[in-house]
């Protein structure tokens, strides 16, 4: 009888351990933020659809002071995500084979947040979805809209 109780407790412990490890695997995610509009999520390279952020080496000027606006866009994304889980809705792939997606933290669109914060542009060439967010940031001179800047797509041409 004593041996059976020990076996039962042992088996229950094993099942509990497996259950807890499984829950942890479901909630954990491998996330790397590449720049303001690109992340690596669980081994997949994801480009935020419908927006464009300054490149990491790109600078902007406010009152003749150089600002690293590409680095700032990445930092805003890092701060917004924090330790939260990122969920993405795929919209296909781009010419570079990256997944195009709109990604969310706590049901808030990261793309909308970045554009409204003034550190991303509505990428009108591909989408009209974030124009209202851009209009808001521009009208209120938020982020890049308070500086002298070059659009990322023009910067990349150089």
Is there a domain that residue 18 lies in?
no
Is there a domain that residue 106 lies in?
yes
CATH number at residue 65: 2.40.50.90
Is there a domain that residue 131 lies in?
yes
Q: State the residue range of the domain holding 84.
A: 30-157
DSSP 85: P
Is there a domain that residue 16 lies in?
no
Is there a domain that residue 110 lies in?
yes
Is there a domain that residue 82 lies in?
yes
pLDDT digits (tens, 9 = 90+) for 86-113: 999 999 999 889 999 999 999 999 999 9
| Predicted pLDDT of residue 7 | 63
CA-CA distances (angstroms) from residue 47 to 2, 28, 105, 121, 142? 59, 21, 15, 14, 23
Neighbours of 142 (CB within 10 A): 15
Bridge partner residues of 35 (DSSP): 38
Q: Which residues contact 122 (CB under 8 A, 6 or more apart)?
A: 50, 51, 115, 128, 129, 130, 131, 133, 134
Angle subtended at Cα 48 by Cα 68 and Cα 89, rounded to the nearest 5 degrees: 150
Give the mean model confidence (pLDDT) for residues 126-133. Answer: 96
| Predicted pLDDT of residue 93 | 94
Is there a domain that residue 72 lies in?
yes
| Predicted pLDDT of residue 29 | 86
pTM confidence score: 0.81
| Predicted pLDDT of residue 27 | 46
| Predicted pLDDT of residue 57 | 96
Is there a domain that residue 2 lies in?
no
Sign of the four-CA dihedral 44, 49, 52, 53: negative
34 against 2, higher pLDDT: 34
**Number of domains the chain is built from:** 1
Neighbours of 147 (CB within 10 A): 17
Two tokens, residue 154 = 């023009």
| Predicted pLDDT of residue 158 | 87
């Amino acid at each position: 009888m004593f041996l059976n109780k020990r076996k039962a407790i042992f088996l229950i412990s094993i099942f509990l351990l497996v259950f807890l490890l499984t829950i942890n695997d479901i909630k954990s995610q491998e996330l790397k933020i590449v720049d303001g509009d690109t992340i690596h999520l669980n081994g997949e390279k994801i480009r935020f659809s419908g927006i464009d952020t300054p490149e990491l080496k790109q600078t902007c000027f406010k009152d003749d002071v150089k600002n690293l606006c590409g680095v700032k866009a990445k930092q805003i994304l890092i701060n917004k995500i924090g330790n939260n889980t990122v969920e993405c809705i795929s919209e296909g792939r781009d010419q570079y084979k990256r997944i195009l997606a709109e990604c969310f933290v706590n049901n808030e669109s990261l793309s909308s947040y970045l554009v409204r914060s003034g550190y991303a542009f509505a990428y009108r060439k591909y989408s009209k979805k974030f124009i209202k967010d851009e209009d808001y940031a521009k009208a209120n001179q938020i982020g890049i809209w308070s500086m002298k800047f070059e659009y990322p797509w023009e910067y990349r041409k150089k």
